[in-house]
Amino acid sequence: MTGEGAATRIDEIIASRFACRDFSSEPVGRGTIEQILRVARFAPSGANIQPWHVYVLAGEAKDRVSAALGKAHDTARNQHASEYSYYATDLPEPYLQRRQEFGRLFYGSLGIAQTDIEARGRQTGKNYAFFGAPVGLIITIDRRLEVGSWLDLGMFVQNVLLAAAGQGLQSCPQETFSKYHRILRPLLAIPAEQMVVCGISIGRARDHIAGRLMPRADVTQFASFAGFEEQSATQLERTTPWEAETI
């Protein structure tokens, strides 16, 4: 029996999810992906706008996209740029420190020195093969919408990741696909009004790959609480003497 504040199954799924960057080639069926999207569509959406569109890739279709993006990354990466800025130009603290810590932990776990630009470029290139995952998603949003719809889209993407975990799969959200929107647009017949936001790799992690969970700030570092003391006092006042002894 769970009490107040006890962990639940959904808590476990959220806390154990990680960005997988090494998938097995074991197929994932269309029915599974459809079920993931069927669940993810219930993400909160202001005025029920539902601003997302998903291009689902597998097999030869995914391979064609990967080949085109891989070639661009190898030969012309400086000629491409995303249509939106993901990071602030000058990151303030504590965000700058967190980004630097990510670089140290991630590249360090791969044995890549942060100064080794060539090796880092090769690692980045693995994104475009969806890290070997059997299924890749390309996520777009209608560019005519405002920033509030990006909140809705973020919640939808999170739902996709959690629904995949509920199916026993791992995933990796990848903003870097937005950089090659000019290549993706003709390959996937993406209309002009849609902006490429990110990709998502979905599949099963290789057996020898453990989840690399990045350190997260404690709740006390990002949450402010008010009113709970009064709530507790009111609850105590309403209890009978024998109940108060057990509190």
Q: What pLDDT was estimated at residue 195?
A: 98
pLDDT tens across 165-211, in order? 999 999 999 999 999 999 999 999 999 999 999 999 999 998 545 44
214 pLDDT band (50/70/90 cuts)? confident
- Among left, alpha and beta (phi > 0; psi -120 to 50; other), residue 59 is left
Percent of all residues in the chain with a pLDDT value above 90, rounded to a whole number: 80
Residue 201: inside a domain? yes
Determine the structural domain holding residue 205 and report its residue range. 9-218
Q: Residue 88, class by beta-carbon neighbours within 10 Å (0-12 exposed, 13-18 middle, 19+ buried)? A: exposed
Q: What pLDDT was estimated at residue 237?
A: 63
245: pLDDT strictly greater than 90: no
Q: What pLDDT was estimated at residue 203?
A: 98
Residue 229: inside a domain? no
Contact 39, 160 (CB under 8 A): no
Number of domains in the chain: 1
What mean pLDDT, rounded, does the chain reach? 91
Q: What pLDDT was estimated at residue 207?
A: 58
Q: How far apart are CA 156 and CA 173, in angstroms?
A: 12
Contact 233, 51 (CB under 8 A): no
The 170-174 sheet, strands edge to edge: 52-58, 135-142, 194-203, 170-174
Identify the CATH number of the domain in which residue 26 sits.
3.40.109.10
Residue 13: inside a domain? yes
Residue 246: inside a domain? no
pLDDT tens across 28-58, in order? 999 999 999 999 999 999 999 999 999 999 9
Residue 98: inside a domain? yes
Q: What pLDDT was estimated at residue 244?
A: 43
Residue 238: inside a domain? no
